[in-house]
Structure 1
C-alpha cells in the first residue's frame, strides 16, 4: 500500500526530471572527453534545458513539502534527519567538485538551494496558497525589476543579486530567483489541498500497478540517484575514452 503522503504522479514527474538530468550530465561528459563537439553544453538550447531541469526539481520539492505535511504536523526528528542528509550531500558536492574542477567548484548549487528552501519554506507552510504564490512570483521577478548595490559583491553570490564578476561554477542555483520557484510549487500544492483535490490526483494513477511502481521508484529515491548518477556516468565515459585511445 502506498504512503498517504506519496502521490504516484509526483514521483513519476520526479523520475522524468532525473532522466532529463542524466541526459544532460551524460552529454556534458561526452563533450568533456571529446565524444561531442566543444561548446555543445554552452549552446542556448542546452542552457535552457539545464534551467528547466533545475526548475522542475525545485518546483516538485515545494510540492512535496506541502504534500508530506498536509494531514499532519511536521515530525521534527524526521525532518531534521532529512535536512542533515541534504546538507551533507551539498557539502559532498562542493568538496567533490573542488577536487574534480578546482576553482570552478559548486559554491551554491541545487542541493544548497534545497537545504535553504526546506527551512525558509516552513515560514509559509501553513499560509494560504496565495501568500506562497505571491511571494514566489515576487522573488522570481525580483532580478528583473531591482538592483541592490549594497549586495553587489561576490560574497553575496548565494543570494543571487550580485552584479560582480562571478567565478566559474559548474552549478549555480541562488536563492533569488530559485526559492521563488520552490514557493510556487508550494502554492500549487496548497491550492490543491485547499480544493480537496489531492485524493483525486492520487487516484489518477494506481500506485499498486507494477509498471507504476517501477516508474515511481527513482522519484522516491531522488537524492541518492542525484548523488550517484554522475560519478557512474563520468566513470563510464572516461573508461570509453581509455578504450578508444
Structure 2
C-alpha cells in the first residue's frame, strides 16, 4: 500500500510553530543571561505565547495521526518507530534537564505528552468525529469541572489534576487538559476526511515547489529541531555573555 503523501500545509504550519518556539526559548535564554529584564518570561503574554505554541504542536499531532490513516490502516512499523523515537527523546529531555536544571527538571513535558497521546489516540481513530470532539472538550474542561482529592500524590502529576504541591518545572504538559487538544485536532481531521476535503487542502500548496519544500522541511523534522535548537541557542547566548563580560 503506498504511503499517504504529506500535506504541505500541515508541515508549514508545524514550521511556523517551530519558529515561535525558537523565539520563545531564545527570549528565555536572553533573560537567563541578563540580556532581557528579569521576569519577562513570567509575564502573562509570554505564558500565553508558550501555551499557544504547545497547543499548536499537540493539535497538529492529532491532525497528523488521522492523516496517516487516510490511505488505509495505520502503518504499524512506522507508528512503532515514531513511538520509540518519542520515548527516547522524552527520556533524553528528562535526563538532560535533570543535570542542567536540577529540581526543576522536566518530569512530564510536551514530548512525554505526545508519546502518551500517540498511544491513546489510535483508540479514537474509528470513532465518529463528534465523539472525538466531545471527548477532547470534556478533557479540556476537567480541571474546572470537579475537585480531585484522591489525586493527592505528586507522582500523579502526569495526569494533570493532582492537588499535591507541585515542584517547579521548566516544562510541564500533563494529560489533562492537553490530551483534549490532541483529540480536538483528531476530530478536526476526521471531519475534513468525512467531508472529503483533504485532497482540496493538499492541493492548496504544491509540495514540489522550491519555496514549499523550503518551508516544509523544518516541519518534517520537528523532533530533531526540537531537541537540537535549545542547546544551540543556550550555547550561543552563553558565549555572548562571556564576550560581553
TM-score (norm 1): 0.98
Secondary structure at the residue paired with 1:151?
A: coil
Cα distance in 2 for residues equivalent to 1:213 and 1:4? 17
Say if 2:219 is the partner of 1:219.
yes
2:4 touches 2:67 (CA, 8 Å); kept in 1?
Answer: no
The offset of 1:32, in angstroms, is 0.4
User: Post-superposition, which runs of at least 4 consecutive aligned residues in structure 1 deviate over 3 A?
Assistant: none
Let me know the Cα RMSD of the aligned residues.
Answer: 0.8
- C-alpha offsets along residues 147-168 of structure 1, whole Å, 9 cap, x if unaligned? 1111122111000011221000
- C-alpha offsets along residues 63-103 of structure 1, whole Å, 9 cap, x if unaligned? 00000111111122221111000000000000000010000
1:60-75 to 2 correspondence within 5 Å? Answer: 60-75=60-75
The number of residue pairs the alignment matches comes to 243
Structure-1 residue corresponding to 2:174: 174
Unaligned runs of 5+ in 2: none
Structure-1 residue corresponding to 2:10: 10
Cα distance in 1 for residues equivalent to 2:34 and 2:208? 44
Unaligned runs of 5+ in 1: none
Structure-2 residue corresponding to 1:97: 97
Cα distance in 2 for residues equivalent to 1:74 and 1:65? 9
Cα distance in 2 for residues equivalent to 1:22 and 1:126? 36
2:4 touches 2:70 (CA, 8 Å); kept in 1?
Answer: no
Say if 2:37 is the partner of 1:37.
yes
Cα distance in 2 for residues equivalent to 1:209 and 1:5? 15
Say if 2:47 is the partner of 1:47.
yes
Structure-2 residue corresponding to 1:203: 203
The offset of 1:4, in angstroms, is 3.7
Say if 2:157 is the partner of 1:153.
no
Secondary structure at the residue paired with 2:150?
A: helix
- C-alpha offsets along residues 79-131 of structure 1, whole Å, 9 cap, x if unaligned? 11110000000000000000100000000000000000001001101111111
